[in-house]
Structure 1
Amino acid sequence: MAPNTASLSNDRAAMRVTIGDMAAALGLTKSTVSRALNGYPDISDNTKLRVKRMAEDLNYMPLSHAQAIKTGRTRSLGLVLQLSDHDAQRPFLAEFLAGVSAGASTEGYTLTVASADNDIHLIDTFRNLLRDGKADGFILPRAMVDDLRVSMFRDADVPFVLYGRQDNDTGCAWFDVRGEDAMHDAVRHLANLGHSRIGFINGGTIYNYAGLRRDGFVRGMAASGLNFAPELVIEDAMTPEDGARIGARLLDLPNRLTAIVCAVDRVALGVYKAAEERGMKVGTDLSVVAYDGIHEGAHAQPPLTTYSVDNRQAGARLATLLIRRIGGEPPEALRETVAATFLERGSTGPAPQSAHT
């Protein structure tokens, strides 16, 4: 039987549609409609879809304050940005926030954003948001090796989702881009161009991604039949200045390498400077591959070959996963990874002939 919406249509302009109105139209209890709207796992997907469509048809808008009192939820997602991060203000952040906001609003949630200056302030900020009931759960960008945020939310039984992964994955939901596969494929790309002596400049080892990307590089060397040389691997580089300094160190080695893989685009741009200072042309004398897909890389000379990350998509998926976690889905069912997109540009080319003589 089709829902009886006719009796409500004349009242829409005069009064707010209530859960009771929808329940009567659907032939369901108010409790079932409420639980369907809030994504509870004990409600079937078919019932959730019926309720969602009815809410759209009747232009149902919940009173967030009343809903928070009844359910203990604010329908808000929390995000705390640590301003001391090396690239906290960079353009990718705008894309990421736009994605999170879009993903939240699609499900009728809002986004609460706060900032912190350091690790201590970060934890205090989270505690204040929890105390004041500002968010139902939190998105945690930049998964760390020893992540105090994860420990805190586990202990408090607060829903969270990581942008990144954790080795100790108990209670962890996440969305991540497989940077380790990108590093593996970067080596394979260079090996196919004839490079055999390849350096690797990794990112900050406090972040969980660094270990994954290092492992990907090592796997790529093995898969290409190349000898792994520990002296050609240097870690904890995050800025162009780091890239210039470490690039100079690698390029000044007696047995000169012909290619460098960088775990971070901004570091690769510093390697460009080190190469230029030594009269080397990137893409001809030295090949460089990196990871992130920042705008500066596209405008470098030559444009940087890199593995691009869709931060807007990542933000949207993190919001969706967190809302599902808030709705009661187990974290083990909320783990997604995607591949980065390879952008082959001018910074890679065949190994110089002198490298084979």
Structure 2
Amino acid sequence: MGTTEEKPRGRDAGARVTISDVAGALGLTKSTVSRAMNSYPDISEATRLRVRRMAEKMNYHPLSHAQAIKTGRTRSLGLVLQFSDHDSHRPFLAEFLAGLSAGASAEHWTLTVAAADSDASMIETFREMLRDGKADGFVLPRAMTEDPRVKFLSSAAVPFVLYGRHATAKGAAWYDILGEQAMQDAVAHLAKLGHRRIGFINGGAQYCYAPLRLAGFREGMRDAGLPVDEDLIESNAVTLADGERAGDRLLTRPNPPTAIVCAVDFAALGVYRAAAGRGLVIGRDLSVIGYDGIPEGAYAMPPLTTFTVDNRAAGERLAKLLIRRVRGEDPELLRETTTATFVERGSTAPFRGSI
């Protein structure tokens, strides 16, 4: 004779588990369980973990529409991609989105992604998503020095978190990679290889990272005891064509550099083209270092020495910071940075003599 599975008291075995069931199992009030599930700051971490574990054990999931009515939140993070940007379809986007989704899912939130093709349509997309209740806050990739997204969301009192630091955005939360440290380390690496005339090609001047990476390059040159030649600094190179043009200008100088640091990998790969046009061999006649870790760099000839960024991890952290911001934490206490990872490949080599 088989055994009969015990049914939870007060409800049918197939009935949906409610917050009352979880509260009863723990001997807590419904209010305490609710506040623990929503990570209110007045609930201890131990209680939050206890409640979440029981909820998982009992397969309890709050009804999204009920949560929205009760808290005014949809438990959804918003991301608006601007497809007019120079590399909006790059492979890194898949990892970034995977990280955002994982970070949101870990808190039982969702990710809503929309697209825009201009600044004006982006702001209108924000308005539509907010009006339709599709997001409680937004992740903003690529912080810009003059950022209409920050201006709009700040004026509308909508939570957001930047992927990048913004020098003047008060009340902004952010997560960023220390690109300036990478530029400084790049110069140190080249100086150790014997290079003394080192050029620099910066990225888009509209982005907050550009002045930071330029400052890092200058600091690296000072640390190495090397003079900065202003004629060996170029800017606004974010594509292969941009990098090729900037590389051509540097390599046609009366006393050209023997090594070039690039703020983005695409510019570095453009320098490959400029060097080839002058009969120079990368890694022998000219050393090049990039930043980003795009797949194309690994398959270049020779493979590009660069600094890689873990975009999946960045997405996860941004999601978690935004959820904390939506829940009311001080945005200026939600600021995190990390470092890129140096990957030495064949595009750098000891100095061989003047080019």
TM range, smaller chain: over 0.9
8 Å Cα contact 1:165/1:175 also seen in 2: yes
Identity among equivalent positions (%) equals 65
Q: Hey, what's the Cα distance between the residues in 2 that align with 1:349 and 1:32? A: 62
Structure 1 SS opposite 2:165: coil
Shift of 1:195: 0.6
For residue 249 of structure 1, what is the amino acid of its counterpart? R
Please give the secondary structure, in 2, of the residue aligned with 1:219: helix
Instruction: Give distance in 2, aligned partners of 1:252 and 1:10.
Output: 83
Per the alignment, residue 270 of structure 2 pairs with: 270
Q: Which residues of structure 2 form unaligned runs of 5+?
A: 1-5
The 5-angstrom pairing of residues 53-64 of structure 1 reads: 53-64=53-64
Aligned to 1:339: 339
Counterpart of 1:195? Answer: 195
What pairs with 1:203-352 in structure 2 (closer than 5 Å)?
203-352=203-352
Q: Counterparts of 1:220 and 1:119 in 2: how far apart (Å)?
A: 35
Q: d(CA) in 1 for partners of 2:158 and 2:44? A: 24
2:67 maps to 67
Q: Which runs of 5+ in 1 are unaligned?
A: 1-5
Task: Give the corresponding residue for 2:97.
Answer: 97
Higher alpha-carbon deviation: 216-225 or 42-51: 42-51
Equivalenced residues, count = 350
Letter in 2 for 1:264: V
Contact 1:12/1:58 (8 A) holds in 2:
no
Does the 8 Å contact 1:39/1:48 carry over to 2? yes
The aligned amino acid for 2:227 is: N
Paired residues of 2:150 and 2:169 also in contact (CA < 8 A): no
Whether 2:29 is the aligned partner of 1:14: answer no
Check whether the contact 2:7–2:13 (CA below 8 A) recurs between aligned residues. no
Matching residue of 1:3: none
Q: Matched residues in 1 for 2:142 and 2:348: separation?
A: 29
Pairwise CA RMSD of aligned residues?
1.4
Alpha carbons of 1:10 and 1:278: their partners in 2 closer, same or farther (altered >3 Å)? farther
Q: For residues 113 and 308 of structure 1, what CA distance do their matches in structure 2 show?
A: 25
SS at the partner of 2:200? strand
Instruction: Give per-residue Cα distances to partners, 1:238-278, cap 9 Å, x unaligned.
Output: 10001111101100111121000000001111100000110
3-state DSSP class of the match of 2:291?
Answer: strand
CA distance in 2, matches of 1:126, 1:29: 38
Residues 1:85 and 1:11: Cα distance change in structure 2 (over 3 Å): same
Aligned-partner Cα distance in 1 for 2:247–2:353: 21
- Cα distance in 2 between the residues matched to 1:187 and 1:169: 30
Q: Deviations over 1:16-74 (max 9, x none)?
A: 11111112222222122111111111222121111111111110011101111111111
Any idea what SS the aligned residue of 1:191 has? helix
Once the two structures are TM-superposed, the CA of residue 333 in structure 1 deviates from its matched residue by 2.1
CA contact (8 A) 1:96 1:311 kept: yes
Moved over 2 A (4+): 6-13
Is the contact made by 2:136 and 2:159 (CA closer than 8 Å) also made in structure 1? yes
Q: CA deviation at 1:353?
A: 2.5
Equivalent-residue separation in structure 2 for 1:311 and 1:287 (angstroms): 26
- SS for the counterpart of 1:113 is strand
Residue 167 (structure 1) aligns with: 167
Match of residue 3 from structure 2: none
What is the identity, as a one-letter code, of the residue corresponding to 1:254? P
SS of the counterpart of 2:8?
helix
> Are the aligned partners of 2:137 and 2:160 in contact in 1 as well (CA < 8 Å)?
yes
Q: Quick one: which amino acid aligns to residue 65 of structure 1?
A: H
The amino acid that maps onto 2:276 is: E
Give the aligned residue type for 2:195. Answer: H
- 1:152 alignment partner in structure 2: 152
Q: Distance in 1 between matches of 2:283 and 2:337?
A: 31
Which whole-Å CA distance do the structure 2 matches of 1:92 and 1:131 have between them? 30
Counterpart CA distance in 2 for 1:9 and 1:169 is 54
Judge conservation of contact 1:41–1:328 (CA < 8 Å) in 2. no
Cα distance in 2 between the residues matched to 1:15 and 1:351: 73
- Cα distance change, pair 248–31 in 1 and its aligned pair in 2 (3 A): same
Question: How far apart are the structure 1 equivalents of 2:173 and 2:354?
Answer: 49
- Given that 1:75 and 1:109 are in contact with CA atoms closer than 8 Å, whether structure 2 keeps it comes out as yes
Verify the 8 A CA contact 1:143 1:164 in the aligned structure 2: yes
Name the structure 2 match of 1:182.
Answer: 182
